[in-house]
Amino acid sequence: MVDPYGSLGLVAPPVFLEPSSFTFLFPINGLWSAISKDSLRTTYVQEWNFTLERQLSKSYSLSTGYIGKTGRKLLAFRPFNAAPFVPGTDGSGRPLSTEANAPTRAPFLPGIYGTGGLYLDNSFTSAYHSVQLELTKRFSKEFQFDTSYVLSKSIDSSSTNNLGGCLSNPFDVRADRGRSDWDRRHAFVFSGIWSPTVHEAQRGFLGRLVGGWSLSGISAVQSGSPVTPSAGQNTALDGSGCSAHPDLVGNPIITHSSRADIVANFFNRSAFALPQIGKYGTAGRGIFSGPALVNTDFAALKDIRIRERYSFQFRAEFTNLFNQVNFNNPVANLSSAQNGQITGSRVGRSIQFGLKLLW
């Protein structure tokens, strides 16, 4: 619609446009915020925990606890004018609902407001629950370490860190409630520092060679992050521009015979199917996990004394010390030729050295 006012017999308000830099077209799409202070409710977060700690000995302590957290009325953008599907055909046999005619089916001011507009809303929620165990050794006898294990689950209806923009079903926020994008069901971490005092004075050749070292490292083992399958197309024909979830028709989890099999066929692709035209898929967010993560970082530091006031400090840092392969999540888009495949991984081992003068 070029002139919505003319169709209503009204005079358009005066406006100045610079044709070389701006073009104003209907229908209008974009980001919309609240129209009044009462349109948005107050976001709130509730947290609670219960922790037991026990001193096992002079150097060792054990902690175990439960931690919970919920978020309500969280803010994010969502499609507000998606077109409802109208089944059937017209007198000429043409479908009443197509992607092209979605703007004419928009529920709010069709032709003026488009179906791709996004509205700031706080209908989103989150919840986190975890059991955490931690064993700590205080620094003594040249050694200190801290190790922890966390069994947790985080779910939400939007994991955005930039206020989002899409819902797989614009008419049902709860359809996108599932495992948070950062959820890791199991997480184990070990970190430690060893500072031997042998030849601490660094006298003689052997003392200068062996003394002054400090070794530290951190190892992490985590289960995979969630994978959310996508239909790769908007089968609901609602004009929102958001990809629908597919239908879940089987079990996506399969066993693998080799690493090559993991890369080529991570999940059961036949477990998903395109929804019927006009329908939203039944598969949820984060319904299975991607590859696990195992990583070790290591650092070696040596203080080299020159005189009482002067010394060098040498540092060697190894990221991903054992060069372990940590795969990215697989492609989970039914419309992609690489659906089910892993196409990348995290960075491999890197080493850097540093030397600084202290005085």
Mean pLDDT of the chain: 88
Centre a 10 Å sphere on the Cβ of residue 296 and count the other Cβ atoms it contains.
18
Q: How confident is the model at residue 356 (pLDDT cuts 50, 70, 90)?
A: confident
Q: How confident is the model at residue 216 (pLDDT cuts 50, 70, 90)?
A: very high
Q: How confident is the model at residue 207 (pLDDT cuts 50, 70, 90)?
A: low
Is 108 inside any structural domain?
no
Q: How confident is the model at residue 306 (pLDDT cuts 50, 70, 90)?
A: confident
Whether 53 contacts 138, CB under 8 Å: no
Q: How confident is the model at residue 325 (pLDDT cuts 50, 70, 90)?
A: very high
Centre a 10 Å sphere on the Cβ of residue 118 and count the other Cβ atoms it contains.
25
φ/ψ of 175, rounded to 5, equals: -65, -20
Task: State how beta strands 350-358 and 31-32 pair.
Answer: unpaired
Is 326 inside any structural domain?
yes
Centre a 10 Å sphere on the Cβ of residue 35 and count the other Cβ atoms it contains.
9
The predicted model gives 318-332 an average pLDDT of: 96
Whether 269 contacts 340, CB under 8 Å: yes
Q: In 3-state terms, the chain is what percent helix, strand and coil (to 5)? A: 10, 40, 55
For the segment 145-165, what is each residue's pLDDT rounded down to a tens digit? 999 999 999 999 999 888 887
Q: How many domains is the chain built from?
A: 1
Q: How confident is the model at residue 328 (pLDDT cuts 50, 70, 90)?
A: very high
Where do we find the tokens 């050749």? 205
The predicted model gives 162-173 an average pLDDT of: 87
Is 211 inside any structural domain?
yes
Is 321 inside any structural domain?
yes
* pLDDT of the residue at 141: 85
Burial class (CB in 10 A: 0-12, 13-18, 19+), 111: middle
Is 150 inside any structural domain?
yes
Is 18's pLDDT higher than 60? no
* pLDDT of the residue at 82: 93
DSSP string, 168-219: SSTT-GGGG-EE-TT--SEEEEEEEEE---TTTT--HHHHHHHTTEEEEEEE
Q: How confident is the model at residue 243 (pLDDT cuts 50, 70, 90)?
A: confident
Where do we find the tokens 């009443």? 96
Is 163 inside any structural domain?
no
Structure tokens at 120: 């700031």
Taking the alpha carbons at both ends of the chain, their separation in whole angstroms is: 74
% of the chain with per-residue pLDDT over 70: 89
* pLDDT of the residue at 295: 97
pTM, 2 dp: 0.82
* pLDDT of the residue at 202: 65
For the segment 61-91, what is each residue's pLDDT rounded down to a tens digit? 999 999 999 999 999 999 989 999 999 998 8
Q: How confident is the model at residue 262 (pLDDT cuts 50, 70, 90)?
A: very high
Q: How confident is the model at residue 197 (pLDDT cuts 50, 70, 90)?
A: confident
* pLDDT of the residue at 5: 58
Domain containing 257: what range?
Answer: 50-65+130-157+177-358
Across 19-33, 37-51, 185-199, least confident range: 19-33
Task: State how beta strands 118-140 and 31-32 pair.
Answer: parallel
Closest by CA position to 343, among listed 326, 325, 328, 323: 328
Q: How confident is the model at residue 266 (pLDDT cuts 50, 70, 90)?
A: very high
Structure tokens at 59: 């150097």
Is 12's pLDDT higher than 80? no
Is 226 inside any structural domain?
yes
Q: How confident is the model at residue 285 (pLDDT cuts 50, 70, 90)?
A: very high
The predicted model gives 224-241 an average pLDDT of: 92
Is 1 inside any structural domain?
no
For the segment 32-65, what is each residue's pLDDT rounded down to a tens digit? 877 666 677 889 999 999 999 999 999 999 999 9
